[in-house]
């Protein structure tokens, strides 16, 4: 998915496919979708017909001139088709690779977790949403789903392009699995979350090959502008013919302006450069996003990313790794750290959450405390519930509990024990540092506090600083209390935060920013993020997140990295800049071609106009023919820029606009004068135009 091409055009196979598609796109049903290039298409047909008529004596222009003009116009259409086809080729190559990994496999369906040893082999295409399947090492995951039991190492290279395996396990934010990936160790039980033919892989294939791409509002608006300019130039060209015909009759001479010349003039004046590259720019933008391992569900989302100025980030699984880890054991009231670690580990032996497992590991690493023989100790484990907010273990007359500070406080007070000020201070200190405190009690006596710490993802702070340079405000949204949220926000380097956030609160905040004229982007991975993701202008769901989050977002980050949003914003801005820059260049070209061609075209009728022929073009025919050749070649020359995109610079919008106007505006005026003169000298020197 993330494979890189060594050049803008891709490999030999991609170029061959693009050349073939260039001819297939000559179908009128395809051409009519691009009004500007459809004009060139009609002009190519018209000049071809004029050439046939010229062979039978119809007097318009020299047959050689008409034929040469027709050929160049056909090449102009083919070059425009090639630009679009080469951009589409990247997506088709990615789709072919994905399609190769998508195959019907044997799935091992089970009735329940309790009966996972009694599986039934069924085709993966027969699986329905809600079915349970067990997948062992070496087997391909048959469908999209959520891990509900077990943990396994999964090879997701078919989807993400990354060869390193990832862990997928029940609980936490790493429970989502994608059909087509492969389990390489252990086993997992998954609950299927998509019907056959509607999997994430199916959606990826449809998007990357462009089948689902629609024109964005900005594209449509620009296309309307180009059509309006084209209509104006049609009227200008028609009036020039009428005016020259009238003037010729007044002077008693034949009209020196041929229909072929006026058709070629029309093509040169119309905004064909941007018209030819407009579709390729949009497709290439989506392709660059795909290469960054982000699946965009719409082109509108990519454009919106270029204008985003508010970024709301879900903390868990986005800014942090998502699984809180045991960081320290803090003893109180005379207990030792090892006593706290021992009691904490005993209460966590049956705790399959990432937090519980990390407590067991930390106790083992710090004090060498190993797992006990549970059967010999006759332990009765007390599971965590939302009501008690505690878990623990009872054995041999010993009662150990660990849980939220308020829950454990109430537990010990109800049993006649004390809850010390030292414990309250330890809990407060952990909260102030952005951690989560879990109080440990043994036989109703507080031993100490476990410090669970959210681990900030590597490189997040630096990336947020880059976002700030782009003028984007970052806001962390979390369900944590304000003290914890403030500490994590400071460590991560975000601009602001929303603590104790509810799904309704997130949604309200986004709507409030949007009402003030801001464009809001949000990343998230949980079901509770889905309403806000659906409301956001740019909604990036983590690939490891829940199915609800993926369906609500308009982008999916296959790498599940919040730092990826930097790339998304840069690609969005680059898409807008590329389109704007090439539009500026195209319009500037048209102005230059107008002043280069018109004097040479009318010199035969008005000799005084020769003074305006500042380039010293040989004749009206050489001027027209040189301009037509330039018009075709400039499309080819700009294809690499359309595919790669204009380089984005982290400077203000004003400086960026000024720079691009100088480069693409002034450059667009100067380039045609130089190129048309060189072509004129060449075709005159070889005797093509006399």
d(CA 441, CA 238): 92
Q: Is 496 annotated as a binding residue?
A: no
Q: Is 14 annotated as a binding residue?
A: no
Q: Is 621 annotated as a binding residue?
A: no
Please state the φ and ψ torsions of residue 429, each to the nearest 5 degrees. -65, -40
Query: Helix or strand or coil: residue 176?
Result: strand
Q: Is 97 annotated as a binding residue?
A: no
d(CA 339, CA 344): 8
Q: Is 611 annotated as a binding residue?
A: no
Q: Is 194 annotated as a binding residue?
A: no
d(CA 458, CA 323): 15
Q: Is 593 left (phi over 0), alpha (psi -120 to 50) or beta?
A: alpha
Q: Is 101 annotated as a binding residue?
A: no
Q: Is 529 annotated as a binding residue?
A: yes
Burial class (CB in 10 A: 0-12, 13-18, 19+), 280: buried
Q: Is 573 annotated as a binding residue?
A: no
Burial class (CB in 10 A: 0-12, 13-18, 19+), 527: middle
What's CA 291's distance to the chain center, in Å?
A: 9
Q: Is 454 annotated as a binding residue?
A: no
User: Of 149, 314, 480, 559, which residue is the catalytic one?
Assistant: 314
The answer to whether 109 and 120 are in contact (CB under 8 A) is yes
The answer to whether 1 and 161 are in contact (CB under 8 A) is yes
Residue 132: half-sphere exposure toward Cβ, Cα within 13 Å: 15
Q: Is 388 annotated as a binding residue?
A: yes
Name the DSSP letter for residue 140. B
Q: Is 387 annotated as a binding residue?
A: yes
Q: Is 578 annotated as a binding residue?
A: no
DSSP strands (E only) in 487-589: 496-498, 520-524, 538-542, 555-557
> Which residue do the tokens 């509810």 mark?
502
Burial class (CB in 10 A: 0-12, 13-18, 19+), 667: middle
Strands 145-155 and 182-192: antiparallel
For CA atoms 674, 675, 677, 682, the dihedral sign is positive
314 is catalytic: yes
Catalytic residue IDs: 314
Binding annotation for Mg(2+): 525, 529
Binding annotation for ATP: 351, 355, 384-391, 402
Binding annotation: 351, 355, 384-391, 402, 525, 529
């Amino acid at each position: 998915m993330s494979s890189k091409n060594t050049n803008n055009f891709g490999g030999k196979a991609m170029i061959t496919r693009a050349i073939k598609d260039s001819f297939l796109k000559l179908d009128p049903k395809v051409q009519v979708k691009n009004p500007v290039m459809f004009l060139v298409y009609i002009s190519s047909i018209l000049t071809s017909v004029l050439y046939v008529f010229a062979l039978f004596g119809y007097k318009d222009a020299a047959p050689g001139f008409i034929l040469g003009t027709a050929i160049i116009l056909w090449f102009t259409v083919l070059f425009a088709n090639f630009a679009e086809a080469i951009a589409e080729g990247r997506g088709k190559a990615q789709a072919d690779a994905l399609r190769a990994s998508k195959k019907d496999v044997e799935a091992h369906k089970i009735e329940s977790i309790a009966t996972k040893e009694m599986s039934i082999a069924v085709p993966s295409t027969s699986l329905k949403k809600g079915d349970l399947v067990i997948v062992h090492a070496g087997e391909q995951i048959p469908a999209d789903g959520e891990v509900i039991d077990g943990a396994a190492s999964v090879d997701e290279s078919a989807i993400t392009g990354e060869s390193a395996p990832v862990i997928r396990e029940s609980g936490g934010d790493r429970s989502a699995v994608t059909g087509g990936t492969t389990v390489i160790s252990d086993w997992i039980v998954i609950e299927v979350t998509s019907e056959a033919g509607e999997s994430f892989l199916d959606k990826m294939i449809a998007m990357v090959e462009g089948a689902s791409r629609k024109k964005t509002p900005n594209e449509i608006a620009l296309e309307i502008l180009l059509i309006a300019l084209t209509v104006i130039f049609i009227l200008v060209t028609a009036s020039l013919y009428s005016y020259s015909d009238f003037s010729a009759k007044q002077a008693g001479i034949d009209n020196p302006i041929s229909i072929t010349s006026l058709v070629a003039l029309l093509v040169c004046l119309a905004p064909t450069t941007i018209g030819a590259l407009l579709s390729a720019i949009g497709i290439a933008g989506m392709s660059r996003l795909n290469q960054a391992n982000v699946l965009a569900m719409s082109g509108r989302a990519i454009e919106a990313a270029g204008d985003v100025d508010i970024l709301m980030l879900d903390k868990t699984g986005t800014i942090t790794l998502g699984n809180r880890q045991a960081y320290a054991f803090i003893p109180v009231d005379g207990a030792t750290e090892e006593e706290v670690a021992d009691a904490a580990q005993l209460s966590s032996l049956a705790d399959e959450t990432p937090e519980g497992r990390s407590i067991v590991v930390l106790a083992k690493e710090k004090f060498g405390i190993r797992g006990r023989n549970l059967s010999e100790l006759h332990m009765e484990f007390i599971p965590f519930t939302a009501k008690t907010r505690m878990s623990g273990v009872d054995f041999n007359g010993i009662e150990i509990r660990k849980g939220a500070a308020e829950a454990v406080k109430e537990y010990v007070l109800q049993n006649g024990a004390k809850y010390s000020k030292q414990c309250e201070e330890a809990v407060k200190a952990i909260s102030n540092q952005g951690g989560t405190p879990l109080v440990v009690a043994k036989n109703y006596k507080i031993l100490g506090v476990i410090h669970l710490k959210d681990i900030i993802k590597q490189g997040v702070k630096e990336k947020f600083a880059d976002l700030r340079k782009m003028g984007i405000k970052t806001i962390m949204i979390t369900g944590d209390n304000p003290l914890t949220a403030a500490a994590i926000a400071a460590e991560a380097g975000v601009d602001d935060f929303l603590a104790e956030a509810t799904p309704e609160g997130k949604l309200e905040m986004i709507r409030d920013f949007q009402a003030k004229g801001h464009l809001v982007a949000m990343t998230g991975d949980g079901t509770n993020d889905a309403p806000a993701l659906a409301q956001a202008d740019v909604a990036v769901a983590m690939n490891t997140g829940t199915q609800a989050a993926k369906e609500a977002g308009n982008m999916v980050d296959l790498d599940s990295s919040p730092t990826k949003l930097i790339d998304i914003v840069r690609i969005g801005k680059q898409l807008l800049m590329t389109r704007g820059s090439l539009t500026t260049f195209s319009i500037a070209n048209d102005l230059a071609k107008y002043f280069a061609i018109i004097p040479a075209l009318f010199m035969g009728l008005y000799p005084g106009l020769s003074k305006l022929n500042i380039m010293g073009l040989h004749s009206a025919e050489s001027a027209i023919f040189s301009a037509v050749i330039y018009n075709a070649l400039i499309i080819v020359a700009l294809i690499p820029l359309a595919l790669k995109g204009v380089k984005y610079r982290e400077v203000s919008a004003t400086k960026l606009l000024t720079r691009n106007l100088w480069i693409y505006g002034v450059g667009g005026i100067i380039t045609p004068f130089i190129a048309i003169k060189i072509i004129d000298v060449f075709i005159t020197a070889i005797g093509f135009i006399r």
